[in-house]
A and B are shown apart, each in its own frame.
Chain A
Amino acid sequence: MKKKTKNQCGRRGERIFSSACIVPSLLGVLIFFLIPFGIVVYYSLINNPIMKDFVKLDNYSALLENTAFRKAANNTAMFSIVAVPLAVVLSLGLAVLLERNIPGKSAFRTFFLSPLMVPTASVVLVWQVLFHNHGTINQVVELFGGTPVDWLKSQHGQVIIICMFLWKNMGYNMILFMSALSGIPRDILEVADLEGASSWYKFVHIKLRYLSPTILFVLILSLINSFKIFREVYLLTGNYPFDKLYMLQHFMNNTFASLDYQKLSAAAVLFSLVMIVVIAVLLIVENFFGKDVEG
């Protein structure tokens, strides 16, 4: 490893110690994730594990033509594109509201944070009761003269998972925003007050600017968590849910169950590529926004 970096303040031994600290973790990651992932990439390029004929991108083109995969990818993308920004905006809104001097603030904070600590499997029955065809939400809908919807089997199925996702993740996002808000230097806000800035102006031009690293961080966390929502969907609907709830994870689980490693490997590699692009974009955004506030 090259040791010549800009940071020359450490002696050689110290730098080696700090690198050595990474080794246990890196070894684990290599053995359990990266090296086998290399094998997955290899699997995605051959026709089957016995013949091992190199078929170039055939598995990928077959995958892209697969209707189940397209549906699953579409659903997952739709969900993440809607749910993740929503989770960011709504929790930021909550954090701003909780900045006010209102009674019982810390109790409210606890309430919002509580879903984080409740195991999915514990509350899944409540979700079933709420969203069932003859369930609570439909009863309320009927009470107000609306037509009930069989939520789990409707075109609006994704609304449910977005709700569950927000319920689970907004509290923690809100906490992150609250601490970032309290970290904004008071003197800048006071100067703005003296200059007669409106609270909207202060929010857009001062607070948002200081919050931008946190917004990115929350975005990343929410993205990770948006893929974890599969647990809830799986617990609610099992392996083969209604069309709109068929996520990429279902597809991969089911392909795994049917031992179609080629398809599965290609899907895994494609997914990783998309994620690399997403992260790269976020990093560029971070570099663009981060410079003037973080230094």
Chain B
Amino acid sequence: MTLKQKKHTLDVIVTVFIFVAAVMFIMPTVLTIANSFMTSKEISANYGSMFSNMTDDKKTFISENVNLKFIPDKVTFDQYRAVLFKSPDYLMKFWNSVILTVPITLFQLIVAVFASYGFARYPNKVKNIIFFAYIILMLMPYQVTLVPNYLVADKFGMLEAAEKLPFRGAAAFLNVFSMIWTRRAVILPGIFSPFSVFLLTKVMRRIPVSYVEAAKLDGAGEFQILTKIYLPLCKSALVSIGMLVFIDYWNMVEQPLVLMKDAEMHPLSVFLSQINTGDVGLAFAVGAVYMVPTILMFLYGEDYLVEGITYSGGIKG
């Protein structure tokens, strides 16, 4: 075998290996979507034995084995119709997720832009110590910050139910505001979570000083340096960090469970976690619907995601 042939065979092996691995990675997602098109009968026939407390009529055939199926016997949109139109429950929960995740992501990014700028420009000892505290905090699993969060929420009366709305029944935008307000026990700690500060600081520290010096010669002030130089250079990083934060909070389960007494306000992710006590037939469709925003975001932002992290390295940045 010549060297070239050898290299070619190796390439083929690598390609096959990567292909198999890639298919395995996409599989759970594809399965969820494929199963969402099944009739509820088919779902209970396939997966019925997993859920002993299923409410479906007992006469349907339930296989003892759990059969994983790719292609539904009969493609139907019934599940989707049920999720989207039959009762407003799921849509309400979906809206709950949106009203939690969007403000957290947006404001966390805004706070982070300023904070990272502060950490990246004129670093000094005090700033470095604070940044170190941020890193530690970032590493804490939610259960460690749960007690602090709970103490604060309790102290400031954030755990109250929806009765004390400041703007009840007012105009639509005030309504949204009051929805956010009633959820502040979850939203506020989310906004100040240090994750995006950490990532963004690392990006900003990579911005060459020469850019800033040039802008200064042209008479730019500090605020202009932030908005005209740092921000544009961080655009793809901001998009990618925003995506990471969004998906993280879109997934949240623990915070609402602890900090929201009113189950009406719980996001869809919490509801999905309890679905095997409910209607399993709908679970796949609900799961698929819940994927839509993140998948759309992914399709739009994948390039940013890839581009936005070309900076990174190390801990201190």
Interface residues in chain A, defined as those with a beta carbon under 8 Å from any beta carbon in chain B: 1-3, 5, 7, 10, 13-15, 17-26, 28-29, 31-34, 36-37, 39-40, 43, 94, 97-98, 100-104, 107-130, 132, 134-136, 139, 167, 170-171, 175-176, 178-180, 182-183, 213-214, 216-217, 220, 223-224, 227-228, 230-231, 234-235, 248-249, 252-253, 256, 261, 264-265, 268, 271-272, 275-276, 278-279, 282-283, 286, 290, 294
Contact = CB atoms under 8 A, between A and B. Distances in A.
Contacts of B146: 252, 256
A21 B313 CA distance: 24
B253 to A, nearest CB: 6
Contacts of B313: 180, 213-214, 216-217, 294
B208 to A, nearest CB: 14
Contact of B14 (A40, A97, A230): A97
B294 A97 contact: no
B28 A24 contact: no
A220 B28 contact: no
B137 interface: yes
B134 interface: yes
A122 B152 contact: no
A294 B314 contact: yes
Nearest to B155: A36
A136 B147 CA distance: 40
B50 A14 contact: no
20 contacts: A2-B125, A19-B122, A25-B115, A100-B14, A102-B15, A108-B18, A117-B294, A121-B268, A121-B290, A122-B290, A125-B47, A134-B49, A170-B25, A183-B310, A216-B313, A217-B313, A228-B248, A230-B141, A256-B258, A265-B147
B26 interface: yes
A147 to B, nearest CB: 16
Interface stretch (B62-70, B80-88, B160-168): B62-70
B189 A121 contact: no
Given A24-B115, A26-B130, A130-B68, A40 B147 contact: yes
Given A2-B125, A179-B306, A227 B141 contact: yes
Given A104-B15, A275-B136, 16 more contacts: A7-B123, A18-B117, A29-B137, A36-B148, A108-B18, A117-B298, A119-B287, A129-B68, A136-B66, A175-B305, A227-B140, A275-B139, A276-B136, A282-B315, A283-B315, A283-B316
Max chain B C-beta neighbours (<10 A), residue from A10, A118, A248, A282: A118
B111 to A, nearest CB: 5
B222 interface: yes
Contact of A29 (B18, B26, B29, B192): B192
Contact of A118 (B135, B283, B294): B294
Contacts of B68: 129-130, 135-136
A96 B111 CA distance: 36
Contact of B29 (A115, A170, A179, A261): A115
Nearest to A20: B118
Contact of B124 (A7, A25, A278): A7
Contacts, number: 317
A108 B137 contact: no
A111 B23 contact: yes
B315 A217 contact: yes
Contacts of B192: 25, 28-29, 31-33
A33 B50 contact: no
Interface of B: 11, 14-15, 17-19, 21-23, 25-26, 28-29, 31-32, 35, 47, 49-50, 64-66, 68, 111-112, 114-115, 117-119, 121-127, 130, 132-152, 188-189, 191-192, 194-195, 197, 202, 222-223, 226, 243, 247-248, 250-251, 253-254, 258, 268-269, 272-273, 275-276, 280, 283-284, 287-288, 290-291, 294-295, 297-298, 302, 305-306, 309-310, 312-316
A170 B32 CA distance: 20
Contacts of A98: 18
Contact of B50 (A40, A128, A179): A128
Contact of A123 (B32, B114, B269, B276): B32
B73 to A, nearest CB: 17
Contact of A224 (B47, B139, B269, B316): B139
Contacts of A278: 139
A3 B147 CA distance: 35
A34 B276 CA distance: 38
A268 B290 contact: no
Contacts of B11: 100-102
Contacts of B312: 176, 179-180, 214, 217
Contact of B314 (A124, A213, A252): A213
Nearest to A229: B141
